Amino acid sequence: MSGSVGVEGSDGSWLMFDVSGGRITGVEVAVWPDVRKVGALVPPADAEAALVTIPSRESQPGVASVEVETHVVADADASERTIHFRFGAARPMRAVRVARDIIFDVDEAQHIAGVWLLNVPPFPSDQ
């Protein structure tokens, strides 16, 4: 699959994963969910390096965009430099690093359960 996979929260939040040849190549936060600030938000230190792929089905060879609706929760540290999005119900997961500043949470069924954005640049100030 090449195209995009959208994760839409029931609150209107919307994250897009750019996909090329089945591999996730980028993450875009298209509509920001409400973010809960927590004092310290520490990303998993034991994240293993991995490639995250999106499988395509034989019955849908021409699909270029997929949208999934689920519950999305976002937490950020006080400076909003580390942000953690979680998808769906809480469940056991492991962390995999797909880029220097992107870590995915993957559940036991090998489904994406969340994404960590690290070293996020500061938001522009309103002037």
Would the pTM of this model clear 0.85, i.e. be above it? no
**pLDDT at residue 5 in the model:** 82
Pairwise CA distance, residues 111 & 79, whole Å = 29
A 10 A CB-CB count for 1 gives: 21
- Residues 123 and 127: their CA atoms lie apart, in Å, by 12
| Residue 71 zone, left/alpha/beta (φ > 0; ψ -120 to 50; rest) | beta
Amino acid at the residue 30: A
> Band of the pLDDT at 13, cuts 50, 70, 90?
confident
Instruction: List the Cα angle 66/11/41 in 5-degree steps.
Output: 95
Per residue in 76-123, pLDDT tens? 898 889 999 898 888 999 999 988 999 999 999 998 899 999 999 887
